Amino acid sequence: MKKTRVLYVSQEITPFLPKSEVSEVSRNLPQGIHEKGKEIRVFMPKYGSINERRHQLHEVIRLSGMNLVVNDTDHPLIIKVASIPTARMQVYFIDNEDYFQRKAVLQDKDGKYFKDNDERSMFFCRGVLETVRKLGWAPDVIHCHGWFTSLMPLYIKKYYNDDPHFADAKVVYSAYNSEFDGSYDKKLVEKLKMDGFDEGDIAELKDPSLLNLHKMAMKYSDGVVEGSEDLPEGLAEAVKTSEKATLEYCEPATCVKAYSDFYDEILEENTVLAE
């Protein structure tokens, strides 16, 4: 019996970025799931603030070199990789000079969120999936962490739905108590249409607020995780009414088995439905 394959996609992972709820879960959960006998791959953006020398990042030439079109402009895709020795875990990084070379993460020095975070997210999500295709690795479960990954379920279910690498993949989205209080560019719907999405697919994003990004992610996911103990009221209600399989909050450091069982439950449920 083949091992279950889990793809982790996160907006931040420690030790490459400072410790936070998202970055610590994204560091520890994959290791725990790997130790449970599942096969993993882990991806995050290569923000310019990440010290490549300290963390020994190096470019994977055989995976780099592709161009992705975002908002009608070509952007080269660069793939880098580094190891977390204490975890025997590799992390792949999505890089691009236009989107990820600035010496910051998601906000500028004044704490304002970058106006092109929507395009950075689009590039990141597509970059991950294109790289996984090049690896020839078909995940059974794709687990997304952080609002920066909220477009990933849409791309998997609507853009890559006929691709054999992702056609049977089940998507899990972790909703966190995020500090992001703005919205994506109001032209996000028009940019997504350039990728071939129908207006009906993305109607909720006419107002690309954080809450609507979460709702869009949950709409195209097979399972939802309460990533924070205390979610904002609107988000908590959206999770409660999503009608998707839900894993209630539990501390990942002590709940690896609960996450592993949750993946198995979603895969088993969909197998039964297919029969």
CA 14 to chain centroid, in Å, comes to: 15
Q: What is the pLDDT of residue 273?
A: 41
The CA distance from 12 to 24, in Å, is 9
Proportion of the chain above pLDDT 90, given as a percent: 88
Tokens 């970025």, located at residue: 17
> Among 1-15, 126-140, 176-190, 227-241, where is mean pLDDT lowest?
176-190
Model pTM?
0.95
Contact between 100 and 47 under an 8 Å Cβ cutoff? The reply is yes
pLDDT at 159 > cutoff 90: yes
Instruction: Please name the helix (run of DSSP H) or strand (run of DSSP E) that holds residue 192, with its range, or none.
Output: helix 188-193
Residue 137 structure tokens: 């690795």
Average pLDDT over residues 27-44: 96
pLDDT score, position 275: 41
Mean pLDDT of 117-121: 97
Q: Give the pairing type, strands 170-175 and 223-226.
A: parallel
Instruction: Name the nearest CA neighbour of 229 among 21, 23, 26, 32.
Output: 21
What dihedral do alpha carbons 201, 185, 175, 107 form, nearest 10°? 160
Domains of the chain and any CATH numbers: 5-45+82-93+119-274 (3.40.50.2000)
Mean per-residue pLDDT, 41-63: 96
33-43: average pLDDT: 96
Average pLDDT, integer, range 2-29: 95
Q: Which residues contact 259 (CB under 8 A, 6 or more apart)?
A: 29, 32, 33, 225, 247, 252
- Work out whether the CA dihedral 116, 118, 119, 124 comes out positive or negative: positive
The DSSP output letter for 149 is G
Asked if pLDDT for residue 272 goes beyond 50, the answer is no
Rounded distance between C-alpha atoms, residue 13 and residue 55, angstroms? 12
Q: Which two three-digit tokens encode residue 57?
A: 């990042």
3-state secondary structure (DSSP) of residue 193: helix
**DSSP output for 78-100:** EEEEEEEGGGTEEEEEEE-HHHH
Distance CA 195, CA 198 (A): 9
Helices (H), 66-187: 97-100, 117-135, 152-154
Rounded average pLDDT over 220-243 = 94
pLDDT of 270? 57
What is the pLDDT, as a whole number, of residue 19?
94
**Which pair of structure tokens corresponds to residue 1?**
């019996």
Mean pLDDT of all residues belonging to the chain: 93
123-150 residue pLDDT tens: 999 999 999 999 999 999 999 999 999 9
Angle (CA) 6 16 228, round 5°: 60
Q: What is the pLDDT of residue 264?
A: 96
The confidence score (pLDDT) of residue 252 equals 74
- CA gap 90, 210 in Å, rounded: 30
3-state DSSP assignment of residue 211: helix
Residue 59's pLDDT is: 97
